[in-house]
Amino acid sequence: MKKILNLAIFVAALSIATIAQDNIGLATGNFSGIHGAFLNPAEIANSKLYLDLNLLSGNLFFHNNYIRILPQRENLNQNMGTIGVLVGSVMPGLKPPTMETLDKYTTEYKHGYSNFRLTGPSIIYSFRKHAFAFHTSFRAHASVLAAPYDIAKFSYVGLHFSPQHHINYIHPNRVTGVSAGWTEFGFVYANTLRQDYNQKITAGITMKGLLGYHGIYMHSTNASYMIPDRDTIHIYHLDAIAGLSMPVDYNNNDFFGIKNPVRGTGFAMDLGITYSRLSDKRWRKIDHLKHHYSPYVFRIGLSLIDMGMIHFNKHSRRLLFDINDTITWGGLAGIDFINTNHYIDTMSLALTNDKLGLDDGTSFNIFLPSAAVLQIDYNINNTFYANLVWVHNISYTPIQVSRPSYIAITPRYEKDRLGISMPLTLFRYREPRLGLAIRFYNFTIGTSKLGTFFGSSDFNGFSFYFSVKYSLLKVKFKRDRWNCHEL
């Protein structure tokens, strides 16, 4: 129990949910539908689709630079075997392959990200210069940033790791771990602000109501400690805050069930604008057409996404660590933590001589993984396109889920019934990875980390996304032919 609790503190961001990187294969292109609005709400006014009904779509993404998973069978592909473990862990009745984990014990700071999104019934409808959309999604994000290697090691193997005993570790840097899960109901509106024979400007906004299911965070600004043996820890200095709000009974860790899972509520919004240089002066805006599409040479979009927060105020505990004098917590080897309250109360009693000495309130806010997004889409010949997406994480409070920043360049083949894209992503601005997405009619499947499926890299991350929907195309009008036809 102790090892599980210690490990959970560090790897919560890798295990609870498990931003793919915003599903480049779904979120870019003229057939992206509601997924394009997740990166820029103005995009729904530029789509080739005047009606797009998302039936079900989802993505799963996680990445870390510390824990690696390996199959124990020699003939089992390392990465596909790990996927079997992930699926088997959440599907009743399935027996996953036996796996083992290894850690990367180096002195670099450790980080981890996870992102799970399941989008249910959602719809887009465009009418002349207006476009409307409504979406429902369940999301779970988590992140661990700048975790020191010694804390990662003790969390992974326990306090008995003797090579790190009798060392006074000092960490004046910020260490943050945040995890949150919520359902969002989003309403999107986009408008064509201006369109003439060779340019088009659209703007959009998304307003999202949030129902929070779980929130966990830990943020340290200064820490100094030493562990002389597996039974004792000396804390010399600790400035940190923490909090949790989960749909479980803290006295026995039993799940409350789906009848009362909501722990908090919130609001968020996205803002976006796009500029398109239209492709041919023979093409023009046709006011009498309800649904018309204007081909373009290039399109540039700017947006701010996930600007908001969730206020957790049900079944919540907020903790404050303010230790400036040496405190020794002994007898750790003989303690068997049986539930969440026992763990917190025991720690509070050891550090403050009071079971409630660490409590600092019963509510807190967790901010969403906000980002600034730049998109450039270039139309090569109406079949082949080149796309650039730059997503930069915006952090404005310590208690905020972070998303990895990245730049992606994506060549794309796009026809009405078939689309193929291959994004090349510079993850965290330093780690290159290749992805692949294929759309056939209204079904799309893809990954932003193609090497995962072929065992070409150590399994320290995974990406997969899919979409099933029903769509109707806009029409286009040519002045020299004076007739309308479907795209």
CB-CB contact of 471 with 126 (8 Å): no
DSSP codes, 187-247: EEEEEEEEE-SSEEEEEEEEEEEEEEEEEEEEEEEEEEEEEEETTEEEEEEEEEEEEEE-S
Residues forming beta bridges with residue 321, ordered by sequence position: 240
Rounded to the nearest angstrom, the gap between the alpha carbon of residue 243 and the centroid of all alpha carbons in its chain is 20
Question: Which of helix, strand or coil describes residue 357?
Answer: coil
Residue 90: its H or E element = helix 78-90
Q: What is the pLDDT of residue 128?
A: 84
Please tell me what DSSP assigns to residue 400.
B
Question: Which of helix, strand or coil describes residue 37?
Answer: helix
Separation of alpha carbons 312 and 211, rounded Å: 10
Please tell me what DSSP assigns to residue 336.
-
CB-CB contact of 182 with 211 (8 Å): yes
Phi first, then psi, for residue 348 (nearest 5°) are: -65, -40
Q: What is the pLDDT of residue 448?
A: 86
Separation of alpha carbons 103 and 123, rounded Å: 44
Q: What is the pLDDT of residue 125?
A: 94
| Residues near 438 by beta carbon (within 8 Å), at least 6 away in sequence | 25, 419, 420, 444, 445, 446
- For the chain, how big is the Rg over CA atoms in Å? 25
Q: What is the largest CA-CA distance in the chain?
A: 86
Q: Is 315 left (phi over 0), alpha (psi -120 to 50) or beta?
A: left
The pair of structure tokens assigned to 64 is: 């870390």
CA dihedral 232, 238, 241, 244 (to 10 degrees): 0
**Residue in 316, 314, 322, 312 with CA at minimum distance from that of residue 358:** 322
Separation of alpha carbons 77 and 443, rounded Å: 27
Provide the angle, in degrees to the nearest 10, between the axes of the packed helices 149-157 and 2-15. 120
Output the pTM of the full model: 0.87
CB-CB contact of 144 with 174 (8 Å): no
pLDDT digits (tens), the chain, 487 positions: 344 344 344 434 333 333 445 678 889 999 999 999 999 999 999 988 889 999 999 998 888 889 877 655 554 555 555 555 555 544 445 555 556 778 889 999 999 998 999 999 999 999 889 999 999 999 999 999 999 999 999 999 999 999 999 999 999 999 999 999 999 999 999 999 998 888 999 999 999 999 999 999 999 999 999 999 999 999 999 999 999 999 888 998 888 777 788 999 999 999 999 999 998 654 444 444 455 677 899 999 999 999 999 999 998 999 999 999 999 999 998 888 889 999 999 999 999 999 899 999 889 999 999 999 999 999 999 999 999 999 999 999 999 999 999 999 999 999 999 999 999 999 999 989 899 999 999 999 999 888 766 655 555 777 889 999 999 887 654 444 444 444 4
| Residues near 259 by beta carbon (within 8 Å), at least 6 away in sequence | none
The residue whose two tokens read 């100094």 is 224
Separation of alpha carbons 474 and 487, rounded Å: 7
Q: What is the residue extent of each domain of the chain?
A: 2-66+104-486
